[in-house]
Amino acid sequence: MTAPSRSKLLADLLRSVSRMQPRPVAPHPCEDEELLACWSSGLLGPPEHQTIVDHLAACPHCRAELARLVRSGVVEPQEVDPAAASSGRTQGSPLASRGAKRWRWAWVAGPVAVAAAVLIAVYSWPDTPVSSSLSKLEAELNELAQLDNGRPVDPLGALQRVERLIDRGLPPDLDRRARGLVEFFGYRGALLALANLKFEEVETIERRVTARIGDSPQLRNLVLQAERGLRTELALTETGDLLSYGYGLDGFAPGKALPTIGPAQQRLHEGYRAARTKYPRDLRFILNYGQFLLTVADYVGARRQFEAALEVDRNNAQAHLGLGLAAYEVQDFTAALGHFEAAVEADSQDLSAPLNAAICLERLGRQKDAKLFWEKVYLKTPDRDLREWIETTHRREGRVAPSSK
């Protein structure tokens, strides 16, 4: 007798129990096409989304139907952004997302200054045929400058306006500055699209921007991220912990297989190599290429990239993090620990490094030393599931869970 697949048996078991569940009374979300349309259009707020999830938990009919619709692409649920609801904000801001880093503002500050300069220049330009559009642009730029106050900003709308201005014709000096704005708004729009998993849109934006200004390294990087299905500008922001590479909290990875290298990986490889040649000191490409090499099990190559990143910025937390991951993958746990500790020192806010350090120490059998890192992660992580996992793991091994401190 051949053993049946696990998924088949689990499916049978869960379906069998599902049939025992009483079907809740209407309304059924799966029958409300307007609700489904709102979901696919990013027009659901957290309360409506939670109502749907609660209903799904109790309704086998809606679960089955929604699964069918999602699988076939009829419904493409969009991210529910709690901060965007009702606040007047029209787009979820990636800068507010978990993966956002404070230093990203350093990149924002420059273009904002350019935007302000354009405003001043535009207003000192007498009787231009575009003055009314410029006044509208001013409003958008002011909103942009107020982004951190939660004011609405629509980068793609702004991009379109700047494009129109350029098309109408601007004096050379302003034209140059406006093209700077094209890159800035395009970059912001692409970040948003990436955060919302609209990967095709990132490429579209890049094409629009490069048509105006030529190559843009920051957009090229986002396109590569989109091709990889990542939603942040730096891959290690979302895949910096060992859990992302198949390891458990005990530092083991049973069943971890060698990656498959297909045409997509080859294409990405070429893309990164070209970008590295063209922009040799751009940290985004160096770090992301390093992380990419980790995913294709080229640990030596990954280590070289992260070392190159340290040459550009010797205190770069993500470079240390990447070096730690590369060392861990070749089972050099002591070296990995050193890099993770350096990453903790370089960026005390990031939780991937202390989590990795704790796992590393577990793997080295130094549970007592791991305790401090576990506590840090446990107390600071917003991820309730991770906290539960840490608690459960500690309890199972008869140790005091961080929560009981």
**Where in 201-230 is the site for another protein (CB under 8 A)?**
229
Q: Is 117 in the site for another protein (CB under 8 A)?
A: no
Q: Is 109 in the site for another protein (CB under 8 A)?
A: no
Of these, 81, 183, 233, 329, which contacts another protein (CB under 8 A)? 81
Residues near 180 by Cβ (< 8 Å), separated by ≥ 6?
Answer: 111, 114, 118, 213
Task: Tell me the three state secondary structure of residue 135.
Answer: helix
Q: Is 42 in the site for another protein (CB under 8 A)?
A: yes
Q: Is 399 in the site for another protein (CB under 8 A)?
A: no
Q: Is 150 in the site for another protein (CB under 8 A)?
A: no
Closest CA to 165 of 142, 140, 147, 187: 140
Rounded CA-CA distance 241/215 in Å is: 32
Phi and psi dihedrals of 27, rounded to 5? -80, 145
Q: Is 360 in the site for another protein (CB under 8 A)?
A: no
Closest separation between CB of residue 124 and another protein, Å? 31
Q: Is 87 in the site for another protein (CB under 8 A)?
A: yes
Q: Contacts with another protein in 8-27 (CB under 8 A)? A: 8-18, 20-21
Q: Looking at beta carbons only, is 8 or 102 nearer to another protein?
A: 8
| Residue matched to tokens 């909103």 | 143
Q: Looking at beta carbons only, is 256 or 281 nearer to another protein?
A: 256
Closest CA to 140 of 122, 124, 129, 155: 155
- Residue type, position 81, single letter: D
Rounded CA-CA distance 127/125 in Å is: 7
Q: Contacts with another protein in 158-187 (CB under 8 A)? A: none
Q: Is 73 in the site for another protein (CB under 8 A)?
A: yes
Of these, 4, 126, 214, 262, which contacts another protein (CB under 8 A)? 4
**How many residues form the binding site for another protein (CB under 8 A)?**
91
Q: Is 248 in the site for another protein (CB under 8 A)?
A: yes
Burial 110-136 (b: 16+ CB within 10 A, else e): ebeebbeebbebbeeeeebebeebbee
Span of 5-13, 276-284, 298-306, 308-316 interacting with another protein by CB under 8 A: 5-13
178 in Cβ contact with 162 (< 8 Å): yes
Span of 29-37, 124-132, 208-216, 290-298 interacting with another protein by CB under 8 A: 29-37
Of these, 167, 173, 250, 311, which contacts another protein (CB under 8 A)? 250
237 by Cβ neighbours in 10 Å (0-12 / 13-18 / 19+) ranks as buried
Q: Contacts with another protein in 288-317 (CB under 8 A)? A: none
Phi and psi dihedrals of 80, rounded to 5? -95, 115
Q: Is 244 in the site for another protein (CB under 8 A)?
A: yes
Secondary element (H or E) of residue 113 = helix 104-123
Q: Is 85 in the site for another protein (CB under 8 A)?
A: yes
Closest separation between CB of residue 329 and another protein, Å? 12
User: How many Cα atoms sit within 13 Å of 33 on the Cβ side?
Assistant: 1
Q: Is 350 in the site for another protein (CB under 8 A)?
A: no
Q: Quickly count: other Cβ atoms within 10 Å of residue 354's Cβ.
A: 25
Of these, 68, 168, 207, 267, which contacts another protein (CB under 8 A)? 68
Q: Looking at beta carbons only, is 207 or 256 nearer to another protein?
A: 256
Closest separation between CB of residue 128 and another protein, Å? 26
Q: Quickly count: other Cβ atoms within 10 Å of residue 258's Cβ.
A: 7
Q: Is 386 in the site for another protein (CB under 8 A)?
A: yes
